[in-house]
């Protein structure tokens, strides 16, 4: 399968002349990359994706795919795949007809259509459900049909807008693996919209964190997690301690703080709450100077011996406290 | 679902129907008339109109769908919807006041008018009457009732709830009955106060709006005696129905069938020809015997059975009382309001 | 399979609420169907007047109905007109509804109200106004004029039902088709049309019945020998009030019912309920 680069070049989109949904976004997405747009509700993820798909025309800026400027190309000529949060399956058509739709539009010969629909449904483990209507499928099955429908045309680009959002947690995790695996196997460039940071961290090659229509940071999951550039990114991804030192904010992940005997401590304090999380425990510690700090301690097997009220010492290395942009 | 072919077919038929009337126009003159439905309409369509069309080399477009007068009113005066208007006398008067029909049809326009009884061209008639029915009392013969001799017999207390008349605002027979009440119980046809009082005394009474309904009420026995026109009873002659008609001694009210021509008609000669044709003795005989109407033409000789019952002599014709519709129509609204109140209570 | 299922099914305890609900439904149904039953009784009753209770069963009025050319011609004309009205109002009403729902027209709510207005105008006025305008223009009263008049009062029904479907329409479905390579025209025919069709046709069924039953609009617009069934029945009643009227009503009811059933079979009006 082919894949293509995507480039958003200083793209801006306003709705009704008032709502600035996307504000000067520039992104370079490599061919075959699993790329996530991550951010809170209303930050402009969907709007960005819809501009790539061609549903929205940017007010300014250009959209390139495979090096070609497609800003003014109508949707149906862009040759992309898309999976919607609501799946948007054709309710009046069977599963097989849904999947065959894109091939029909491309005037693929009938026997080829049959063969490819069969293969696509096998790929998402839906063999045998060809003649059902979408209304007769479970949410997970509908999701797979939507995926098969988008992928069967072998698009160089696959756009997914919170495709797993409607699934329960268990199914969602399973689909995360499957989708990731499928994307790698096919080599398609995948733009994935989500507001779930765990999902983005787990699946993506790279993530763009968005806020108020702007991209705050682009990077690999580890980079985003360990080296957040802004306070927003640091705060949005996982738990964080923000240390104000010499007028400069630094971000320190809870697991980078060690619990040590009070003598070796940089800061002393007492445990306020202890949240058992399975493989680890998250403590909230009231420091002697009045600050509240989070630390995470992993432990194998038995429960942590510490309890609220215990006095503890905290230590970390300066290199783990990442300086944030003002 | 709708194929292109059916759509094309539809428009082709639509185009054909669009073209059809103009072709007819090109072939022959068309006379536009109104006429009744029912048995009358059957005879007209089966016999009278085809013969007329043949003789006068024209096409007759006969409207049998009410309401004629509003349709005529709504159409342009210089190109009216009808050339000949056939209605009862009261509606002719309405049309005449609005200038929709002519005042009189005389022997000059339709020579057969010379042979009609005076009632057909009296001052109570605009246009010319071609038939009349007699409004009197219909009654059941199986209820031990004596044949009524007076309009007052309808007030017999035994008939409470079993006597019938019409909804006065919408039915001219009801209006005739009201005027008759004024004559019997008061100073004359126009004595409305006496009529209102007498109407009050007739309650409880069954009222119908269509004239034809009274026949059915009599036939089904829902009404034992009711105001009705003779033809509505005589048409069951020989069918073994226990109903009969009585002409009260005070006289019967005339229910005239009137023909008239619209001043704006483009085929006036043909229109007069049609009226003359309708007054011909053989046309008159055919229709009179078909629907039990009394003919206007004095020269008509009906078969004995009909001659015995219909108003075919000067003496019998003398029992006809013609209402003054011009007078009545002028105060119809007041009367309607008044009788509605009386009959509601 | 079914036997063990039945044995383990719990016995429903007597439920007073449910019994009351069923009784109420039964009564409502009886209330709605009673007039039809009465008409049927009159249609089958052999006496020439409406007698109650009926004295027997005979098909003479049905025979009279089908043997009288006035009735059968009027019936055919009414069917033909209603068929045309069905087609026309589906096309016009469907297009209007799409324009209203999708067109981004200025003053959309006003336009919606405007298109609905024939529903509010007394039909007799619509008929009279058209009658006068036809005469004024000098086209007389052609059949297509009558069809047009019926369409005018029928179109709002189609607009209404179609708008209802469009209102709940998930436009993502159309977008999905577009991404998959469907041009706007193909999106319309492959997705939009099939999905709004139940609404359009439900309106079409109303349109058919509105036309087939139409009396006030037709009153002024029918021509001699071109009278629709309701007009013929009305005029017939003034002279002969017998069971043929009841027979005609029964025939009309059955015909209207079969049209609904055929359309239901053809396009599945049930889908409308699902949407
Ligand atoms: N069609 C539209 N008309 C007007 N405003 C819109 C439209 N679409 C989006 N917006 C606004 O633009 C902003 C960005 O919306 P967008 O849908 O891109 O957010 P999002 O990041 O996808 O949010 P979510 O996670 O809730 O889906 C929001 O303020 C939204 O209200
Ligand atoms: Mg979104």
Map out the domains of chain B as residue ranges: 29-132+255-314, 135-251+325-343
What is the pLDDT at residue A6? Answer: 96
Cβ separation of A86 and C182 shorter than 8 Å?
Answer: no
Within 8 A by CB and 6+ apart from A42, the residues are none
- pLDDT tens digit sequence for A99-123: 999 999 999 999 999 999 999 999 8
- Whether a cis peptide bond, with omega within 30° of 0, leads into B169 is no
C-alpha to C-alpha distance for B118 and B318, rounded to whole angstroms? 10
Q: Which region among A285-299, B44-58, C183-197 has the lowest average model confidence (pLDDT)?
A: A285-299
Q: Which region among A233-247, A249-263, B5-19 has the lowest average model confidence (pLDDT)?
A: B5-19
Cβ separation of A88 and C190 shorter than 8 Å?
Answer: no
Delineate the domains of chain C, giving CATH numbers in brackets: 1-58 (no CATH), 68-272 (1.10.3720.10)
DSSP label at A257?
P
Chain C CB contacts of A78 below 8 Å: 179
Decide if pLDDT at A305 tops 80: no
What is the pLDDT at residue B2? Answer: 40
> Does residue A13 have its Cβ closer than 6 Å to ligand 1?
no
Ordered strands of the A68-69 beta sheet: A19-29, A6-15, A60-65, A68-69
What is the pLDDT at residue C136? Answer: 86
What is the pLDDT at residue C52? Answer: 67
Radius of gyration of chain A (CA): 24
Mean pLDDT for the stretch of residues B264-284: 96
- Whether a cis peptide bond, with omega within 30° of 0, leads into C53 is yes
Decide if pLDDT at B5 tops 80: no
Decide if pLDDT at B156 tops 60: yes
Decide if pLDDT at C117 tops 80: no
Say whether residue A84 is in contact with chain C using an 8 A CB cutoff: yes
**How many beta carbons lie within 10 A of that of residue B7, not counting itself?**
12
In B37-88, which residue ranges form alpha helices assigned H by DSSP?
38-43, 49-56, 68-74
pLDDT-derived band at B153, boundaries 50, 70, 90 = very high
Q: Under CATH, which architecture does the B29-132+255-314 domain have?
A: 3-Layer(aba) Sandwich (3.40)
Q: Chain C: list its partners (3+ Cβ pairs within 8 Å).
A: A, B
C-alpha to C-alpha distance for B83 and B100, rounded to whole angstroms? 10
| CA distances for B324 relative to B117, B254, B320, angstroms | 18, 11, 13
pLDDT-derived band at A281, boundaries 50, 70, 90 = confident
> Does residue A42 have its Cβ closer than 6 Å to ligand 1?
yes
Sign of the Cα pseudo-torsion (A222, A227, A233, A236, in order): positive
Q: Average pLDDT of chain B? A: 90
Decide if pLDDT at B24 tops 60: no
In terms of CATH, what superfamily is B135-251+325-343? Periplasmic binding protein-like II (3.40.190.10)
Chain C CB contacts of A92 below 8 Å: 194-195, 271
What is the pLDDT at residue C181? Answer: 94
C-alpha to C-alpha distance for A273 and A307, rounded to whole angstroms? 8
Decide if pLDDT at B20 tops 50: no
- More confident call, C159 vs B23: C159
C51, C131, C143: residue with CB nearest B220: C51
Chain A nearest-CA residue for C268? A92
> Could you write out the three-class secondary structure of B263-316?
CCCCCHHHHHHHHHHHCCHHHHHHHHHHHCCEECECCCCCCHHHHHHCCCCHHH
Closest to B137 in 3D by CA, of B243, B232, B227, B242: B227
- pLDDT tens digit sequence for C244-273: 888 999 998 898 888 888 877 876 655 544
With b meaning 16 or more CB within 10 Å and e meaning fewer, what string describes B239-266? eebebbbbbbebbbbbbbbbbbbbebbe
Say whether residue A78 is in contact with chain C using an 8 A CB cutoff: yes
Output the CA angle C84-C90-C96, nearest 5 degrees: 130
> Does residue A195 have its Cβ closer than 6 Å to ligand 1?
yes
Atom of ligand 1 nearest to the CA of A48: 18
**In B55-127, where do the E strands start and end?**
58-63, 84-88
Q: Same topology for domains B29-132+255-314 and B135-251+325-343, yes or no?
A: yes
- pLDDT tens digit sequence for B99-117: 999 999 999 999 999 999 9
DSSP label at C192?
I
Decide if pLDDT at B73 tops 70: yes
Mean pLDDT for the stretch of residues C153-162: 91
> Does residue A15 have its Cβ closer than 6 Å to ligand 1?
yes
Tell me the whole-structure pTM to 2 decimals: 0.80
What is the pLDDT at residue A302? Answer: 62
Atom of ligand 1 nearest to the CA of A49: 18
What is the pLDDT at residue A114? Answer: 94
Distance A326 CA to ligand 2 centre (A): 28
In this structure, what are the phi and psi dihedrals at residue B116, rounded to the nearest 5 degrees? Answer: -85, 160
- Identify the three-state secondary structure at position B2: coil
Mean pLDDT for the stretch of residues A75-85: 93
What is the pLDDT at residue A17? Answer: 84
Mean pLDDT for the stretch of residues B168-194: 95
Mean pLDDT for the stretch of residues C42-64: 82
Return the structure tokens found at B18.
């669009």
- pLDDT tens digit sequence for C186-219: 999 999 999 998 889 889 989 999 999 999 999 8
Q: Average pLDDT of chain A? A: 91
Decide if pLDDT at A245 tops 80: no
Phi-psi region of A24 (alpha: psi -120 to 50; beta: other; left: phi over 0): left
């Amino acid at each position: 399968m082919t894949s293509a680069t995507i480039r958003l070049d200083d793209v801006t989109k306003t709705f009704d002349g008032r709502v600035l949904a996307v504000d000067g976004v520039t992104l370079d997405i490599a061919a075959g990359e699993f790329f996530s747009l991550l951010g809170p509700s209303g930050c402009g993820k969907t709007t960005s994706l819809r501009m790539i798909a061609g549903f929205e025309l940017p007010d300014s800026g250009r959209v390139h795919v495979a090096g070609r400027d497609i800003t003014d190309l109508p949707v149906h000529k862009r040759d992309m795949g898309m999976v919607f949060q609501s799946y948007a399956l054709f309710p009046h058509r069977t599963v097989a007809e849904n999947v065959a739709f894109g091939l029909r539009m491309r005037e693929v010969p009938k026997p080829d259509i049959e063969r490819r629909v069969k293969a696509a449904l096998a790929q998402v483990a839906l063999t045998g459900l060809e003649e059902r209507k979408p209304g007769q499928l479970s949410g997970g099955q509908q999701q797979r049909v939507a995926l098969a429908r988008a992928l069967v045309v072998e698009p160089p680009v696959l756009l997914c807008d919170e495709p797993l959002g409607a699934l329960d947690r268990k199914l969602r995790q399973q689909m995360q693996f499957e989708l990731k695996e499928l994307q790698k196997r096919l080599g398609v460039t995948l733009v994935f919209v989500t507001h779930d940071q765990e999902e983005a961290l787990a699946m993506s090659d790279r993530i763009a964190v968005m806020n108020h229509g702007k991209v705050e940071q682009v990077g690999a999951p580890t980079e985003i997690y360990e080296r957040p550039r802004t306070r927003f990114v640091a705060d949005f991804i996982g738990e964080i301690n923000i240390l104000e030192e010499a007028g400069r904010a630094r971000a320190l992940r809870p697991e980078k703080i060690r619990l040590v005997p009070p003598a070796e401590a940089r800061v002393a304090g007492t445990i306020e709450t202890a949240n058992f999380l399975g493989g680890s425990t998250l403590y909230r510690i009231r420091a002697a100077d009045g600050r509240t700090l989070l630390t995470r301690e992993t432990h194998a097997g038995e429960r942590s011996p510490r309890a609220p009220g215990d006095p503890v010492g905290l230590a970390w290395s300066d290199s783990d406290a990442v300086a944030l942009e003002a | 679902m709708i194929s292109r072919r059916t759509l094309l077919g539809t428009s082709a038929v639509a185009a054909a129907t669009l073209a059809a009337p103009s072709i007819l126009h090109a072939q022959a003159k068309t006379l536009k008339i109104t006429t009744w439905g029912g048995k009358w309409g059957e005879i007209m369509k089966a016999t009278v109109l085809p013969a007329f069309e043949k003789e006068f080399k024209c096409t007759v477009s006969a409207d049998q769908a009410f309401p004629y007068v509003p349709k005529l009113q709504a159409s342009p005066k210089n190109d009216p919807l009808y050339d000949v208007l056939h209605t009862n006398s009261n509606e002719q008067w309405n049309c005449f006041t609005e200038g929709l029909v002519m005042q009189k049809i005389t022997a000059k326009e339709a020579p057969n008018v010379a042979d009609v009884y005076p009632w057909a061209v009296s001052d109570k008639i605009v246009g010319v009457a071609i038939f009349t029915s007699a409004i009197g009392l219909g009654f059941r013969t199986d209820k031990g009732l004596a044949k009524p001799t007076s309009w007052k017999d309808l007030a017999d207390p035994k008939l409470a709830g079993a006597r019938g008349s019409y909804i006065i605002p919408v039915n001219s027979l009801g209006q005739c009955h009201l005027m008759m009440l004024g004559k019997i119980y008061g100073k004359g046809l126009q004595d409305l106060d006496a009529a209102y009082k007498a109407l009050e005394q007739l309650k409880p009474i069954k009222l119908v709006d269509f004239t034809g309904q009274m026949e059915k009420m009599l036939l089904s026995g829902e009404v034992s005696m009711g105001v009705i026109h003779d033809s509505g009873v005589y048409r069951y002659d020989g069918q073994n129905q226990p109903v009969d008609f009585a002409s009260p001694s005070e006289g019967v009210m005339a229910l005239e069938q009137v023909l008239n021509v619209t001043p704006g008609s483009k085929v006036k000669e043909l229109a007069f020809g049609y009226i003359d044709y309708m007054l011909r003795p053989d046309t008159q005989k055919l229709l009179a015997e078909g629907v039990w109407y009394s003919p206007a033409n004095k020269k008509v000789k009906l078969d004995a059975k009909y001659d015995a019952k219909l108003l075919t002599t000067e003496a019998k014709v003398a029992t006809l009382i013609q209402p003054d519709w011009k007078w009545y129509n002028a105060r119809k609204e007041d009367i309607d309001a008044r009788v509605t109140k009386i009959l509601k209570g | 399979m079914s036997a063990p299922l039945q044995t383990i099914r719990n016995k429903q305890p007597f439920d007073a609420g449910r019994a009351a609900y069923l009784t109420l439904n039964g009564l409502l149904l009886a209330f709605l169907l009673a007039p039809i039953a009465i008409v049927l009784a009159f249609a089958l009753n052999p006496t020439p007047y409406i007698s109650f209770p009926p004295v027997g069963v005979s098909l003479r009025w049905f025979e009279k109905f089908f043997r009288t050319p006035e009735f059968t011609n009027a019936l055919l004309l009414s069917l033909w007109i209603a068929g045309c009205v069905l087609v026309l109002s589906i096309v016009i009403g469907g297009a209007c509804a799409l324009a209203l729902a999708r067109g981004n027209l200025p003053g959309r709510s006003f336009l919606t109200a405007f298109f609905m207005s024939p529903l509010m105008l007394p039909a007799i006025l619509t008929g009279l106004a058209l009658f006068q305008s036809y005469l004024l223009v000098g086209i007389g009263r052609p059949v297509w004029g009558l069809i047009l008049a019926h369409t005018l009062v029928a179109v709002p029904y189609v607009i209404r039902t179609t708008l209802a479907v469009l209102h709940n329409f998930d436009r993502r479905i159309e977008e999905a088709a577009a991404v998959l390579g469907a041009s706007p025209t193909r999106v319309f025919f492959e997705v939009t049309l099939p999905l709004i069709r139940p609404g359009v046709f439900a309106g079409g069924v109303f349109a058919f019945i509105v036309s087939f039953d139409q009396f006030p609009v037709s009153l002024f617009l029918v021509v001699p020998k071109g009278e629709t069934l309701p007009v013929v029945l009305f005029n017939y009643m003034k002279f002969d009030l017998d069971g043929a009227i009841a027979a005609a009503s029964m025939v009309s009811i059955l015909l209207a019912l079969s049209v609904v059933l055929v359309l239901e079979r053809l396009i599945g009006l049930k889908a409308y309920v699902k949407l």
